[in-house]
């Protein structure tokens, strides 16, 4: 709109500290190109400068004032134009007057609280952007927007119980499953095990799926969209009673976001682990279990960073840094934990302590 | 490396993912960027994800193969000791292999239980094809240098056995136990035998325990035979095997075994043959215990399903009995084995009883086993009953007479194995034996009683020696034994074995005379004549009998008074002259001549005894010559002449004055004349037999003449006057 015929001036928005800032690439709708946008974390100051230049050099341009806004808004796709602004800050860059030559205006939104993370969903989008408006009286305003991408780190959860549950169908299938935590950060590894207490069906295989569920709206206009992020086969063939199957699922390869809980009462995003057993007749038995995803502060670890991730959510950090801790199962032998840390790598221990697994096999 | 190790785990499909992981993992160890111990543990754990039996087996086999040169062990560069910090030691390798083994075995066993029943055999074949994959793990354990006996005993064996027992699958149990036995050396099995056997006793009922025993004993044998069994050993190998066998052979709720009777018997046979005789030769208590146990089983079977009901069982039982015989080479010891006789008598059928009886006798005779006591003989007889008597109700006529004779001859021969320094014991034995033989029926006693008679007679000089210095006692004892013999022979006489009885009486007379019992000897001879007169009718038999009587009577001179002697020899002479055939008569008569020229050397300083009647001798010789004369067969005629000439010569040499040179010369010229007359026959005779006989007679005559010539040359008195 801003570039319609007759636009009197061009606006360029430059981001401060552009060289050191990290960027994320966003997919553009209907295009294979990617949009590179600067990344902000938490309440970082958003600053930079705006360059306004008349289209025709030397021609005077009247304006009713130049304004920059920092807007955070939630767009619902299913209701065109239904946007909700949860953040709107504005600054006047210029009082109404004339503009004859290119002029640059620095701007700064000091430590703005960016309450929510940017999100591109199926039915909803949460975006932050800078909007520069050159107000014109009778003709349309000249407007320029610059998207920002926001991420917020979460503190390490204080409480993080493992998920443990016994489920089953009477006289048919009883299993006990265990995931080592209920809250995972996004580079985490899900470690767990499935313990078969009773198997009377012929199982073909078993997989663990990560399901993302986006809920938008409320009341009669509630929309739920589920998307399977990945299916990960964890067992091939039919187990017998007493068998325990290890789970180790690395989260880092997947496009994940943290769990969002009722963002401005507009939408929520939840993640589930779906354990699916498929029998020989392709019947599926499953159990869904919500897990909380959170974003871990990685600041200290960005030394090697700067590598641009290919996908929107992929962060430019070293993929290997988040090996799960050797966990309690290895503890008895870890006589020198400090030294162990220095070793090239430690192997993620499989979920189940071997003592437990050996017991009960073929018993009874 | 660690990144790669993670990235391969992103793969969504489990089978390729795990192959990748194992591959990278093995390189991870090799680069020493991560401790072997941890990587191995992780890999073996993650492989649990594949529960499909064949895919799982191959995956785990791959794991085993790519890691086999990277296991921490003594002398391995991947162990702590080898310089890799945190690499672990052999225990970690053991743990790794054991875990992989356990999982593989479970998958392997599971193959059997999946899929439709009708494909069962096909599946079993498939499983057998794959067994190597599972067994390899055990071989790998044995290849670890760090697995010493102690570690084997404490960490390896219990786990392996636990898995084998628990897997509850016959194919797996059989195969794995055998692999276990063969991959580890006997020095490992020996101290852990109890553990191993305990596990064996818990295996599935269908597992072939005998085969396992056989392999294990075979494996242990070199070690066991090297031990000094006179000292009690720390590990009682026999006891361990035996109690295991007993345990599995006895039905119980505690274990699955339902061994068939043949299985039970062959199991004990194996123990007996391989272990007892292979390692502790002739250790009687062990043999006893085995037979004890077998007997218990037989008794318990008897009620529901006696051993005699099945030919297979019988043949196994027979084999077991025979092992003891064959290996011990001593029937006395074998028969003294606990319940041996009971088994033979109550748990075999008639034909196998007879077979074992044969074997017992053969063994005794082959090894000339002395059977010294009444009890031993009783045992022996208890076992060979089928040879001693007719089966009740059975038609023994069907038996081949040759076989029967052979059997009875063996029984007879065995009598000579009853040897004991005490004559009293022997007498006791003989009394019993006669009772036993007496029940065998006429066709048996013909074979069995004579050796008994001879055996009894053998006792006589022994008894005399024992009672030396106590004539009264000797008299009683001697009479008793002769009475015994007399009864024995009389049995034969009464049962129509006349000729046999007669000969035995002669033998008795001879024996009685040797120890100076005149009356008894006389009685025996009387019986001889009685039988001769009443029952010997065949002319050939008669001649033979006369021959024997004369031979015996000649020796009896030592005991008989003149009157008795005269009576008896005259009697013999009379019978001789009454023989039917002339040539028999002729020969019998010249033999009788010797009775009138009797001479016995006194034994033990006793007096020499003579009974010489030269004239009577001459008369008999001339009579014999006369009898020979009318014989029509000229060659026989000459032959008799030559024989008589020899008789003449004998008496001439023995200084019978009545036999004068003129008779000799006359006889020689008579023979010459006859020989000349015979020459034509000799040459022209178409009958080669006749010609040969004539030749022999001529030769005989020439030899005789040669003898005379030699004597003449030596200047023997009187010979020079003989006209040739």
Q: Which tens digits make up the pLDDT trace of B509-523?
A: 888 888 888 888 898
pLDDT tens-digit series, residues B553-600: 888 888 888 888 888 888 888 898 888 888 888 898 888 888 888 877
Count the alpha carbons within 13 Å of A184 in the hemisphere toward its beta carbon. 28
Share of chain B above pLDDT 90, in %: 10
Set of chain A residues whose Cβ sits within 8 Å of the Cβ of B42: 347-350
Instruction: Tell me what pLDDT residue A213 has.
Output: 93
Q: Which of B14, B42, B163 sits opposite A235 (nearest CB)?
A: B14
Instruction: Tell me what pLDDT residue A305 has.
Output: 38
Integer-rounded Cα radius of gyration of chain B: 43
From the number of C-beta atoms within 10 Å of its C-beta (0-12, 13-18, 19+), residue B242 rates as buried
Set of chain B residues whose Cβ sits within 8 Å of the Cβ of A350: 41-42, 45-46
**pLDDT level of residue B679 (50, 70, 90 thresholds):** low
Which of the residues A189, A237, A358, A359 would you substitute to probe the B interface, choosing the one with the greatest number of B C-beta atoms within 10 Å?
A237
A361 interfaces chain B, CB cutoff of 8 Å: yes
Set of chain B residues whose Cβ sits within 8 Å of the Cβ of A240: 51, 106, 110
Answer yes or no: are the C-beta atoms of B447 and B409 closer than 8 Å.
Answer: yes
Integer-rounded Cα radius of gyration of chain A: 26
What is the value of ipTM here, to two decimals? 0.75
Which of the residues B4, B6, B13, B109 would you substitute to probe the A interface, choosing the one with the greatest number of A C-beta atoms within 10 Å?
B6
Q: Which of A238, A320, A330 sits opposite B3 (nearest CB)?
A: A320
pLDDT tens-digit series, residues B412-422: 888 888 888 88
Euclidean distance between CA atoms B325 and B362, whole angstroms: 10
Neighbours of B246 (CB within 10 A): 20
Instruction: Tell me what pLDDT residue B169 has.
Output: 84
Inter-chain residue contact A319 with B6, CB threshold 8 Å: yes
Which of the residues B3, B35, B36, B38 would you substitute to probe the A interface, choosing the one with the greatest number of A C-beta atoms within 10 Å?
B38
Inter-chain residue contact A236 with B9, CB threshold 8 Å: no
Both tokens assigned to A77: 């796709």
Instruction: Tell me what pLDDT residue A345 has.
Output: 36
CA-based nearest residue in chain B for residue A341: B34
A238 interfaces chain B, CB cutoff of 8 Å: yes
Share of chain B above pLDDT 70, in %: 94
Alpha helices in A46-180 (DSSP H): none
Closest chain B C-alpha to A124 CA, distance in angstroms: 29
Neighbours of A359 (CB within 10 A): 10
Set of chain A residues whose Cβ sits within 8 Å of the Cβ of B39: 347
Answer yes or no: are the C-beta atoms of B448 and B389 closer than 8 Å.
Answer: no
Q: In this model, does residue B342 exceed pLDDT 70?
A: yes
- Residues 326-345 of chain A with CB under 8 A from chain B are 330, 340, 343-345
CA-based nearest residue in chain A for residue B52: A237
Set of chain B residues whose Cβ sits within 8 Å of the Cβ of A250: 6, 9-10
Residue B432, SS3 per DSSP: helix
Set of chain B residues whose Cβ sits within 8 Å of the Cβ of A231: 12
* β-strand pairing of A142-151 with A34-41: parallel
Inter-chain residue contact B56 with A237, CB threshold 8 Å: yes
Number of Cβ pairs closer than 8 Å across A and B? 108
A349 interfaces chain B, CB cutoff of 8 Å: yes
Tens place of pLDDT per residue across chain A (364 aa): 444 455 678 888 988 887 888 888 888 777 788 888 899 988 888 989 998 888 777 777 888 888 999 999 998 887 766 788 999 999 988 888 888 888 899 999 988 888 899 998 888 889 999 999 888 877 788 888 999 999 988 888 888 999 999 988 888 889 999 999 999 998 899 999 999 999 888 889 999 999 999 998 877 778 888 999 999 999 999 888 889 999 999 999 988 899 998 888 889 999 999 999 998 888 888 899 999 999 988 765 444 433 333 333 333 333 333 333 333 333 333 333 333 333 333 344 443 333 333 222 222 2
Residue A105, SS3 per DSSP: strand
Q: Which residues contact B242 (CB under 8 A, 6 or more apart)?
A: B271, B286, B289, B290, B293
pLDDT tens-digit series, residues B20-73: 999 999 999 988 888 888 999 999 999 999 999 889 999 999 999 999 888 888
Inter-chain residue contact B86 with A253, CB threshold 8 Å: no
From the number of C-beta atoms within 10 Å of its C-beta (0-12, 13-18, 19+), residue A345 rates as middle
Inter-chain residue contact B33 with A205, CB threshold 8 Å: no
Instruction: Tell me what pLDDT residue B364 has.
Output: 86
Set of chain A residues whose Cβ sits within 8 Å of the Cβ of B85: 343
Instruction: Tell me what pLDDT residue B682 has.
Output: 56
Q: In this model, does residue B684 exceed pLDDT 80?
A: no
From the number of C-beta atoms within 10 Å of its C-beta (0-12, 13-18, 19+), residue B230 rates as exposed
Closest chain A C-alpha to B210 CA, distance in angstroms: 26
Numbered residues of chain B with Cβ closer than 8 Å to any chain A Cβ: 1-3, 5-7, 9-10, 12-15, 17, 33-35, 38-39, 41-42, 45-46, 48-53, 55-56, 85-86, 99, 102, 106, 110, 114, 163, 166-168
Q: Hunting for tokens 């085995």 — which residue is that?
A: B290
Euclidean distance between CA atoms B723 and B168, whole angstroms: 107
Alpha helices in B155-283 (DSSP H): 157-167, 170-183, 186-189, 193-200, 209-225, 237-249, 261-270, 277-279
Strands (E), B56-118: none
Q: In this model, does residue B393 exceed pLDDT 60?
A: no
Q: Between B665 and A317, whose confidence is greater? A: B665
Closest chain A C-alpha to B189 CA, distance in angstroms: 25
Q: Which of B10, B33, B114 sits opposite A345 (nearest CB)?
A: B33
B313: enclosing H helix or E strand:
helix B311-328
Q: In this model, does residue B477 exceed pLDDT 90?
A: no
Inter-chain residue contact A354 with B45, CB threshold 8 Å: yes
Q: In this model, does residue B17 exceed pLDDT 90?
A: yes
Instruction: Tell me what pLDDT residue B688 has.
Output: 75
Inter-chain residue contact B99 with A358, CB threshold 8 Å: yes
Q: Between A1 and B181, whose confidence is greater? A: B181
**Mean pLDDT on B70-98:** 85
Mean pLDDT for all residues in chain B: 84
Query: What are the Cα distances from residue B489, in Å, to B435, B495, B524, B542?
Result: 13, 10, 10, 19
Inter-chain residue contact A320 with B13, CB threshold 8 Å: no
Inter-chain residue contact B5 with A345, CB threshold 8 Å: yes
Q: Which of B17, B49, B110 sits opposite A246 (nearest CB)?
A: B49
Closest chain B C-alpha to A315 CA, distance in angstroms: 16
Euclidean distance between CA atoms B724 and B712, whole angstroms: 11
Identify the DSSP state of A287. Answer: E
Helix pair angle (B498-514, B539-556), 10° resolution: 10
- Residues 172-231 of chain A with CB under 8 A from chain B are 205, 230-231
């Amino acid at each position: 709109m801003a570039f319609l015929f007759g636009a009197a001036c061009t606006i360029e928005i430059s981001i401060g500290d552009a060289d050191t800032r990290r960027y994320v690439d966003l997919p553009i709708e209907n295009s294979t190109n990617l949009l590179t946008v600067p990344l902000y974390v938490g309440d970082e100051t958003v600053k930079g400068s705006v360059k306004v230049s008349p289209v025709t050099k030397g021609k005077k341009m009247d304006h009713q004032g130049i304004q920059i806004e920092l807007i955070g808004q939630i767009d619902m796709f299913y209701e065109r134009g239904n946007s909700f602004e949860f953040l709107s800050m504005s600054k006047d860059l210029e009082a109404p007057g004339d503009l004859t030559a290119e002029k640059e205006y620095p701007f700064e939104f000091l430590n703005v609280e960016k309450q929510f993370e940017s999100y591109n969903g199926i039915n909803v989008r949460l975006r932050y952007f800078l909007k520069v408006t050159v107000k014109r009286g009778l003709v349309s305003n000249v407007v320029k927007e610059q998207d920002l991408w926001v991420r917020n780190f979460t503190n390490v959860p204080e409480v993080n119980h493992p998920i443990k549950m016994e489920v089953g169908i009477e006289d048919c299938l009883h299993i006990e499953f265990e995931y080592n935590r209920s809250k995972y950060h996004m580079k985490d590894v899900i470690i767990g095990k499935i313990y078969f207490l009773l198997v009377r069906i012929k199982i073909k295989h078993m997989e663990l799926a990560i399901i993302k569920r986006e809920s938008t709206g409320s009341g009669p206009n509630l929309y739920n969209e589920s998307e399977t992020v990945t299916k990960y086969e964890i067992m091939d063939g039919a187990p017998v009673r007493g068998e325990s199957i290890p789970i180790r699922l690395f989260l880092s390869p997947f496009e994940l976001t943290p769990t969002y809980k009722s963002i401005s009462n507009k939408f929520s995003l939840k993640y589930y682990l779906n354990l699916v057993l498929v029998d020989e007749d392709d019947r599926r038995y499953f159990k869904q279990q919500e897990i909380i995803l959170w974003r871990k502060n990685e600041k200290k670890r960005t030394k090697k960073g700067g590598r641009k991730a290919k996908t929107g959510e992929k962060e430019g950090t070293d993929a290997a840094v988040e090996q799960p801790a050797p966990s309690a199962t290895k503890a008895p032998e870890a006589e020198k934990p400090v030294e162990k840390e220095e070793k090239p790598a430690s192997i993620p221990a499989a979920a189940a302590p071997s003592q437990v697994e050996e017991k009960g096999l073929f018993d009874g | 490396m660690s990144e790669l190790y993670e990235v391969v785990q992103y793969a969504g499909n489990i089978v390729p993912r795990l192959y990748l992981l194992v591959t990278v993992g093995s390189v991870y160890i090799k680069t020493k960027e991560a401790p072997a111990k941890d990587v191995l543990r992780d890999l073996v754990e993650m492989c649990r994800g594949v529960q499909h039996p064949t895919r799982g087996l191959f995956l785990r086999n791959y794991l085993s193969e790519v890691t086999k040169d990277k296991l921490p062990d003594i002398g391995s560069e991947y162990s702590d000791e080898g310089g890799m910090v945190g690499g672990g030691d052999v225990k970690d390798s053991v743990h790794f292999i054991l875990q992989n083994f356990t999982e593989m075995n479970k998958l392997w066993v599971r193959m059997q239980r999946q899929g439709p029943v009708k494909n069962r055999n096909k599946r079993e074949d498939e499983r057998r094809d794959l067994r190597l994959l599972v067994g390899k793990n055990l071989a790998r354990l044995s290849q670890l240098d760090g697995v010493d006996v102690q570690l084997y005993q404490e960490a390896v064996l219990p786990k392996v056995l636990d898995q084998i027992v628990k897997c509850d699958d016959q194919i797996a149990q059989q195969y794995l136990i055998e692999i276990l036995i063969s991959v580890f050396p006997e020095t490992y099995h020996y101290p852990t035998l109890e553990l191993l056997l305990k596990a064996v006793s818990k295996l599935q009922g269908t597992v072939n325990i005998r085969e396992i025993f056989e392999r294990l004993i075979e494996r242990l044998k070199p070690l066991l035979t090297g031990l000094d069994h006179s000292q009690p050993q720390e590990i009682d190998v026999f006891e361990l095997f035996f109690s295991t066998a007993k345990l599995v052979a006895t039905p119980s709720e505690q274990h699955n075994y339902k061994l068939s009777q043949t299985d039970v018997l062959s199991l004990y046979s194996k123990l007996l043959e391989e272990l007892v005789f292979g390692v502790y030769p002739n250790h009687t208590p062990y043999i006893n215990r085995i037979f004890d146990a077998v007997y218990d089983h037989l008794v318990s079977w008897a009620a529901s399903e006696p051993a005699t009901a099945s030919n297979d069982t019988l043949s196994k039982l027979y084999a077991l009995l025979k092992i003891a015989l064959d290996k011990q080479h001593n029937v006395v010891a074998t028969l003294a084995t606990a319940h041996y006789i009971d088994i033979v008598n109550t748990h075999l059928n008639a034909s196998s009883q007879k077979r074992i009886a044969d074997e017992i006798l053969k063994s005794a005779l082959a090894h000339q086993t002395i059977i010294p006591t009444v009890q031993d003989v009783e045992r022996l007889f208890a076992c060979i009953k089928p040879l001693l008597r007719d089966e009740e109700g059975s038609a023994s006529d069907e038996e081949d007479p040759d076989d029967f004779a052979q059997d009875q001859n063996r029984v007879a021969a065995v009598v000579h194995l009853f040897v004991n320094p005490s004559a009293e014991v022997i007498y006791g034995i003989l009394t019993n034996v006669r009772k036993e033989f007496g029940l065998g029926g006429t066709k048996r006693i013909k074979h069995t009683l004579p050796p008994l008679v001879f055996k009894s007679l053998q006792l006589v000089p022994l008894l005399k020696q024992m009672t030396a210095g106590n004539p009264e006692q000797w008299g009683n004892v001697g009479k008793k034994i002769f009475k015994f013999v007399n009864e024995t022979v009389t049995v034969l006489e009464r049962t129509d074995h006349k000729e046999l009885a007669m000969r035995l009486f002669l033998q008795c007379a001879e024996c009685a005379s040797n120890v100076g019992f005149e009356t008894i000897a006389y009685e025996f001879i009387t019986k001889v004549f009685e039988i001769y007169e009443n029952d010997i009718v065949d002319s050939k038999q008669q001649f033979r009998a006369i021959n024997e009587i004369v031979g015996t009577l000649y020796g009896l001179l030592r005991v008989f008074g003149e009157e008795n002697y005269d009576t008896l020899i005259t009697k013999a002479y009379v019978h001789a002259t009454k023989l039917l055939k002339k040539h028999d008569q002729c020969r019998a008569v010249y033999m009788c001549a010797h009775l009138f020229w009797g001479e016995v050397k006194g034994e033990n300083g006793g007096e020499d005894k003579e009974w010489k009647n030269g004239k009577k001798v001459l008369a008999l010789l001339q009579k014999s010559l006369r009898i020979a004369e009318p014989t029509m067969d000229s060659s026989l005629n000459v032959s008799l002449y030559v024989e008589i000439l020899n008789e003449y010569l004998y008496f001439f040499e023995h200084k019978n004055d009545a036999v004068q040179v003129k008779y000799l010369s006359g006889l020689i010229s008579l023979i010459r004349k006859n020989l000349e007359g015979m020459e034509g026959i000799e040459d022209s005779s178409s009958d080669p037999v006749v010609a040969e006989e004539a030749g022999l007679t001529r030769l005989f005559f020439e030899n005789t003449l040669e003898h005379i010539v030699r004597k003449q040359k030596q200047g023997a008195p009187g010979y020079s006057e003989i006209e040739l």
